[in-house]
Amino acid sequence: MKSLIDLYKSDQESVYHTWFLHSDDRLKAFRTIRKGLLKVIKEIEGDTFGNDFKGSSLEMVVTAISEQKQVFEGAAHAFYWKPKLRIPDIYENYHNKKAFGRFLKACLETSSPEKVITEIKTLDQLKIKGLGPAVANILYFLHPTLFPPFNTAIVNGFNLLFNEKIKLGSWEAYLEMRAKIIQANEQYRDCLSKDLGAFAGLFFEIGCNRMIIPVTS
């Protein structure tokens, strides 16, 4: 692991340098996303949120995320309203919309990881169609030292590095992955930032096959 981290950090073309360390856009995104979420919450509470992703305040938030280099490419896809599939069911289902708003507000207003995990489990129990751990990308920009980003490349890299079989679309799997990332980040705390985006970038590089893990017998 130490040698992989050193290789990751020494590669000037890795997302560690191009996105994590040397990106003013990344730092601006934290403010933009927090401000945007306040608007999303206000509109949901005031019943003015609308019934489509396009043109919504949520689109502005998720667009700010998906513009964060290739690490978050496709982050908006999970939130596109797909009428034939009725997913994600937070635009036309009033109760689901309200639950999503309460979740965002609770996560925005706390600094407690236990509170956020409780909110995740509450949201998961509602089984809102199409609303899975893609939401974790929003959580990252609220609590970067507590909740890592989550997408296909990151999960693939995590599975390869830790020989796991974490699946997309499962909050339970996300929380399992999070626990292992935090443990590993603590173990190698002299190598990487407390901001879990640094470790997530390593998984991303592996998941995209930019970094190859040596095969051991």
d(CA 40, CA 49): 7
Residues 6+ apart with CB under 8 A from 109: none
Q: With contact defined as beta carbons under 8 Å apart, do 40 and 34 qualify? A: no
Greater pLDDT, 25 or 117: 117
Does residue 217 carry a pLDDT above 50?
no
**Chain mean pLDDT for the chain:** 93
* Residue 96 vs residues 10, 27, 101, 124, 194: alpha-carbon distances, Å: 45, 31, 9, 11, 33
Q: Tell the residue number behind the tokens 């190698």, with chain if given.
A: 188
Residues 6+ apart with CB under 8 A from 141: 29, 30, 33, 34, 65
> How far is C-alpha 93 from the chain's CA centre?
24
Q: With contact defined as beta carbons under 8 Å apart, do 206 and 200 qualify? A: no
DSSP single-letter state for residue 151: -
pLDDT tier at 215, thresholds 50, 70, 90: low
**Residues 77-99, mean pLDDT to the nearest whole number:** 94
Does residue 213 carry a pLDDT above 90?
no
* Collapsed DSSP state (helix, strand, coil) of residue 87: strand
| pTM (two decimals) | 0.93
